[in-house]
Structure 1
Amino acid sequence: MSINRKLRIAIDMDEVMADTIAEFITLYESRHQTKISLGDMHGKEFREILPPHLSSTLKQYINEKGFFRHLPVMPGSQEVIKALHEKYDVYIASAAMEFKHSLEDKLDWLNEHFPFISWTNIIFCGHKILDADIMIDDRIKNFVTFKGRKLLYTSPHNLLINDFERVNNWDEVAIKLL
């Protein structure tokens, strides 16, 4: 590491900065009058708890224009990421290539909610092959080839995983990194 370089942090978007699950819960309640609670998801993916007659709708909704544009912001993320930005080189690393409108929606979302993050520090990708010192992500698949410090951001689907350093919220990220 160069003596003049700040440590680099790569931060995932979905279920870390943006509350994708809350949006799914709202969608299924409004469009299908189906109530889903976070407790139903303990250790499971969202698709696993959908009633069989709705299983095909998840992919449809995630491919709609605007889905990623209107996600709620995770509580505390804006303030903590702004503070991290002062201390570290912060990069947003999001798998934005899989869904048709994801890339544009995510860029617009970031520009609105995190305007202090430069476009030069946004990495939209498929696989997260990154040169960073710390990664904050909810998906352990992104840690497989990552050599730095791994912080697993708690999400219902990863509650049964105990092999990584965990952060449950942005207050805990601040305690560990600021």
Structure 2
Amino acid sequence: MRKKTIAIDMDGVLADIDAQLIDHYNKAHGTTLSKESIKGLTSDVAFKERDFIHKLLHSENFFRTLPVMPDAVESLLELDKDFEIFIVSAATEFPISLSEKMAWLAEHFPFIKWDNIILCGSKRIINTDYMIDDHCKNLDYCMGKPIMFTAFHNVNQNHHIRVNNWKEAVALLKETL
């Protein structure tokens, strides 16, 4: 019997890009932003110095050093028993991130094989049973069942099933078996 498939986003779902952005932004600008203080804001509003963010996202070692989301490794190991997992990241916008994301995945998720990693531009072509992502621009085109992973920028969007953390994601997906 074929395992059901899950497309899982990296930034904001497996990798805590928000923590990294906030940390770098606060250090550079003497601010005290936190995930709570920017909750409900868009990235443009939360991070007023857009040029700084643009340079940061195109800088060497930014994506390689992202922290792992709490419970992500254990959760994917658990899901891997019953689902075929694909890591799908719209990475081509940031070419420097391609090799860094591959190295990051090899370090933190060595059980995900290279042929289950998709680094792309648009996710519209991804055809899996489920997609876990933090951006509606990806979930709105999901061919399977979209699952929104909570992030500061999506808390006011409610047109997809939402999970707030990896434990909730595992529980939701295990219900479908």
TM-score (norm 2): 0.93
Tell me, yes or no, if the aligned pair for 2:147 and 2:160 is still in contact at 8 Å.
yes
User: Which of 126, 129, 133 is equivalent to 1:130?
Assistant: 126
Establish whether residue 97 from structure 1 lines up as the match of residue 92 from structure 2.
Answer: yes
Give the match's secondary structure for 1:135: strand
Indicate conservation of the 8 Å contact 1:80/1:174, yes or no: yes
**Counterpart Cα distance in 2 of 1:121 and 1:30:** 36
* In 1: Cα distance, 2:155 partner to 2:63 partner: 24
- Which residue in 1 is equivalent to 2:115? 120
> What letter matches 2:5 in structure 1?
R
Question: For structure 2, which runs of at least 5 residues remain unmatched after alignment?
Answer: none
Q: Which residue of 2 aligns with 1:79?
A: 74
Question: Residue type matched to 1:127 in 2?
Answer: S
- Match of 2:81, SS state, is helix
Instruction: Tell me the amino acid that sits aligned with residue 135 of structure 2.
Output: R
Aligned residues: 173
Which structure 1 residue ranges, 5 or more long, are not aligned? none
Percent identical among aligned pairs is 42
**How big is the alpha-carbon RMSD for the aligned residues of Structure 1 and Structure 2?**
1.2
TM-superposed CA distance for 1:34, in Å, is 1.8
Tell me which of 24, 44, 57 is aligned to 2:21.
24
Alpha-carbon distance between aligned partners in 2 of 1:117 and 1:36, rounded to the nearest angstrom: 34
